[in-house]
Amino acid sequence: MGNGLFSDLDFGEGLSLSKKVLLPLIVPNVIPQRTFKAKWVAPTLKELKRRKDVEISKAGGEKIFHRSTFLEWNYDAELYAFGNRLGETFEEPLLRAALTHSSYIRQESEKLSALGMQPDLQFQDNELLASDGKKLISKFINGYLRAVFTRVPEEMIVVMHDFLISDSTLETVAKHIGLGDIVLCADFPCETETYVKSLNAIVAALKESSGEERARLFVQDLIVTQIYGRDVNELWNPKDPIGILTSILKREGKGEPEFRIIRQTATNTILAVYHVGVYSDKNFIAEGGGESVEIAQDMAARDALKRFFHTDDAMKALPFGRQLKSIQSKIAELENQPNLPLSQWSLEKVASTAH
């Protein structure tokens, strides 16, 4: 092969290498280009960015626009898509009412009055549905907790129940299913009370549209699952675990708890660690550790209660979804049947009243 702008062409074996013809290569017309920006472009963009950041800082954050301000907004389509995303069937009038906050009706009435028009709006707010939904959610959660935590005293059931129906938990669920974009309300972004009330109303609307069983499954899948991965023992913090343990052992006819130091290290330093075991009638029950003997005793008593209630680290994972299919009837039965209170709790009574 030749070099530069010429190439060797072989016309056959009869021609020697010295008789090869050199022809020029065809090079496309390439016009080298380089884009130059004026010196004022970069400083101007930086200044515009700085001004935008200042405005956002003064406003307390970047302004969020409601989906209804977009050109392709279609509320009827949004309602249809909402039901399909959840895999549930809603009656459209009920779903519209569940997603209509009373503040929206007041706001629209004021607008009409300001224009001199009669504010005769045919809207139904979600007040009644929200009230019914709150009761349904509470009932469904209690049924699940009592069916799964059969050995737990009712006081602990109440604490877990209160966590699941708290405003922060319900607001998180409401945001994740997209209620913020389709709720009709005067405030945007929606306030916590608006999220909570709308989610309660959605549950009531689902119960009226598809039946109580579908509403129960909805609550189990979206609300009860918020307790998954949490240490339920941290939700319930008894003030006197040693006293509670003593009362339980006394009701069972056993001796009072006896605490013994089983391990200790660095006792004369600020990094001291004590491990205390708790015994009853010379039988080991549990152990706990802490930076002082008193704290270790408290932790040992808490560990004993965990073992009694089957909420220790070795407890089974909470069942959800298909795992609940076989106990749905049991869950429905226990919605209004509380567990044993702590004042009556004992292993014998729990075994005799096992659900």
DSSP string, 263-279: EEE-TTSTT-EEEEEEE
d(CA 152, CA 225): 19
pTM: 0.79
Of the candidate ranges 28-32, 45-49, 290-294, the one whose mean pLDDT is the lowest: 28-32
pLDDT at residue 258, rounded to an integer: 94
229 CB-near residues (< 8 Å, 6+ apart) = none
What pLDDT score was predicted for residue 23?
Answer: 56
Domains, the chain, with CATH or none = 73-232 (1.10.1520.10), 238-309 (3.30.160.20)
Which pLDDT score, from 0 to 100, does residue 188 have? 83
H-run or E-run covering 8: strand 6-9
- As a whole number of angstroms, the distance between CA 161 and CA 235 comes to 10
- Structure confidence at residue 73 as a pLDDT band (50, 70, 90): confident
- pLDDT at residue 252 above 80? yes
For residue range 263-311, what is the model confidence (pLDDT) as tens digits? 999 988 989 999 999 999 999 999 999 999 999 999 999 999 999 999 9
Residue 6's pLDDT is 46
Average pLDDT of span 327-341? 91
pLDDT at residue 257 in the model: 93
Could you give the percent of the chain with pLDDT greater than 70?
A: 90
Average pLDDT of the residues in 229-241: 90
Q: What is the C-alpha to C-alpha distance for residues 97 and 90, in angstroms, rounded to an integer?
A: 11
Which of 240, 245, 265, 264 has the alpha carbon at shortest distance from 255?
Answer: 245
Binned at pLDDT 50, 70 and 90, residue 21 comes out as low
Find the length of the chain. 355
Residue for token digits 């076989």? Answer: 326
Confidence of residue 113 (pLDDT cuts 50, 70, 90): confident
Least confident window among 10-19, 68-77, 135-144, 327-336: 10-19
Percent of all residues in the chain with a pLDDT value above 90, rounded to a whole number: 59
Q: What is the mean pLDDT of the chain?
A: 87
The C-alpha atoms of residue 33 and residue 219 are separated, in whole angstroms, by 63
Q: pLDDT tier at 174 (50, 70, 90 boundaries)?
A: very high
**Residue 5 banded pLDDT, cuts 50, 70, 90:** very low
Roughly how many angstroms between the first and final C-alpha of the chain, as a whole number?
Answer: 91
Nearest by Cα to 339 from 348, 349, 329, 326? 349
Residue 17's pLDDT band (boundaries 50, 70, 90)? very low
